[in-house]
Amino acid sequence: MFRKILVANRGEIAVRILRACRELGIETVAVHSDVDADAFHVKLADESVCIGPAAVRESYLNIPAILSAAKITGADAVHPGYGFLAENDRFAELTGHSGIRFIGPAASAIRTMGNKKEARRHVAAAGVPVVPGMDISSETDPREVIEKVGLPLMIKAAAGGGGKGMRLVREAEDLPRALSRATSEAMASFGSGEVYAERYLEGVHHVEIQVAGDRYGNVIHLGERDCSSQRRHQKLLEEAPSPVVTPELRRAMGQAAVRAARSVDYDTVGTVEFLLLPPDEFYFLEMNTRIQVEHSVTEELTGVDLVKLQITLAAGNRLEIPSFDEIPSRHVLECRINAEDYTKGFLPRGGTIRTFHLPGGPGIRIDTHIYAGYRIPVNYDSLLMKIIAVGHDRNEAIVRMRRALEELVVEGVPTTAPFHLRFLEDETFRQGKVDTGYVERWLGSIQ
């Protein structure tokens, strides 16, 4: 087992990793920017190192500074969390070259799955269904694209994520302009203007399968999460099991996810995401070669501590749990509470937390990094916390989530808690029929 782990992240995921390390008896190092000196993850770690100013390129994306911090503190492993450098193949390679274990997959797996065009080709060769699509550029004949892909279609950045470098095209004449804009945005966001076109499926659910592998060739899945409640490709609420996934479909999607992971010799925790066209037509979307924000949902559903599992797999342990084709009889919801005003287009806001009270009671878990008096910097992601509610069934999970949201007190910044309270009352959500475009339509109808 590792003696000391450096956590190359901030916020709630840094706190989550530090707590897992403490339970495993592992010493910890936190890194932070100068504006994060008073952050909770810094207070929680055994040691801390300032790695630069607020700008992420000079701090949390500063590979030399992070590896130097690992070296001077004697860390023998680095956990990247999610975001920042978690899916940076160069960081994974350089960490290994420095004699430090990267708690994540091999750089080759990150590289293959990090390029969406390459990932599509790779998983298709492994027998995983993919949405019809093709590579395109400014020189591609639009008529060829329409003929091969069809309309509507989505242009996507090959190196993309988070909704960047994406444009929906419904009319043929809009294709050239959409391609130009997607290419420019992809270059600005990811340093690569490489894009591809993919058939745009409407009325679909976003269902992801949690997978895990070890270095001995064992790969399993731990069931699904439904992430269809999203706005502008950003997830707002997740749940498990999915209201639209049957046991037979779970096995089929789980097997496809395992094939995708095994095709890159995957040896850690990750997620294979699918678009599901009910009742049982599903297509590969992407693979996230890291822990997910919503990993807490699967933890509460299965009882498996995914962060500890990541660490022990990186230390060379074998997987000792089977695939979860049969899901325990319970339901889990997670609401992401951001420092945003949903009545103003989910506008992010910084500020100081004046008053802070967390909900509790049966079936409620909170993952957060904030505290009373903490000043939220405007430089980073606006996520304040995740509220996770567990019930014997979906209705009880919804009731408990409503109670938790009503108990929550955060004064000093606006939060998305009022949005969630209102959305939980929606009849379509109550019936489990939310598709990936529903939240946008719903917001339009209530404003």
* Res 160: pLDDT: 74
Residue 290 among the catalytic residues: yes
362/217 same-domain check: yes
Instruction: Tokens for 68, please give them.
Output: 């130097």
* Res 230: pLDDT: 97
Whether residue 152 is contained in a domain is answered as yes
Residue-by-residue pLDDT tens, the chain, 447 positions: 999 999 999 999 999 999 999 999 999 999 999 999 999 999 999 999 999 999 999 999 999 999 999 999 999 999 999 999 999 999 999 999 999 999 999 999 999 999 988 999 999 999 999 999 999 988 899 899 999 999 999 999 988 776 789 999 999 999 999 999 999 999 998 889 999 999 999 999 999 999 999 999 999 999 999 999 999 989 999 999 999 999 999 999 999 999 999 999 999 999 999 999 999 999 999 999 999 999 999 999 999 999 999 999 999 999 999 999 999 999 999 999 999 999 999 999 999 999 999 999 999 999 999 999 999 999 999 999 999 999 999 999 999 999 999 999 999 999 999 999 999 999 999 999 999 999 999 999 986
CA dist 313 and 319 (Å) reads 7
Give backbone dihedrals phi and psi of 349, rounded to 5 degrees, phi first: -140, 135
CATH number for the domain spanning 16: value is 3.40.50.20
26/88 same-domain check: yes
194/249 same-domain check: no
CA dist 178 and 171 (Å) reads 10
Prior bond of 53 cis (ω within 30°)? no
377/411 same-domain check: yes
Give the domain-ending residue among 199, 231, 249: 199
CATH number for the domain spanning 189: value is 3.30.1490.20
187/211 same-domain check: no
Give the domain-ending residue among 163, 180, 199: 199
- Outline where DSSP puts E strands in 278-421: 281-288, 331-338, 340-341, 347-348, 351-352, 355-357, 364-368, 375-376, 383-391, 409-411
* Res 283: pLDDT: 97
195/209 same-domain check: no
Please check whether residue 10 is in contact with residue 60, taking contact to mean a CB–CB distance below 8 angstroms. yes
Place of tokens 């993850």: 41
Q: Of the candidates 169, 167, 220, 202, which has an alpha carbon nearest to the alpha carbon of residue 281?
A: 202
Instruction: Tokens for 375, please give them.
Output: 């000043």
Q: How many domains does the chain have?
A: 3
Q: Of the candidates 91, 65, 80, 71, which has an alpha carbon nearest to the alpha carbon of residue 10?
A: 80
89/138 same-domain check: no
Q: Which of 10, 101, 290, 400 is an active site residue?
A: 290
Whether residue 68 is contained in a domain is answered as yes
Whether residue 425 is contained in a domain is answered as yes
Whether residue 119 is contained in a domain is answered as no
Please check whether residue 26 is in contact with residue 46, taking contact to mean a CB–CB distance below 8 angstroms. no
Whether residue 126 is contained in a domain is answered as no
- Domain holding 212, by residue range, is 205-446
Q: Of the candidates 205, 306, 196, 320, which has an alpha carbon nearest to the alpha carbon of residue 253?
A: 205
Whether residue 175 is contained in a domain is answered as yes
180/262 same-domain check: no
195/214 same-domain check: no
Give the domain-ending residue among 83, 103, 123: 103
Whether residue 165 is contained in a domain is answered as yes
Torsion sign (Cα): 141, 142, 144, 145 = positive
269/402 same-domain check: yes
77/40 same-domain check: yes
What distance lies between CA 48 and its chain's CA centroid? 26
Whether residue 117 is contained in a domain is answered as no
185/211 same-domain check: no
Give backbone dihedrals phi and psi of 379, rounded to 5 degrees, phi first: -80, -15
Amino acid at 254: G
CATH number for the domain spanning 255: value is 3.30.470.20
- Return the HEC string of 120-174: HHHHHHCCCCECCEEEECCCCCHHHHHHHHCCCEEEEECCCCCCCCCEEECCHHH
CA dist 226 and 400 (Å) reads 19
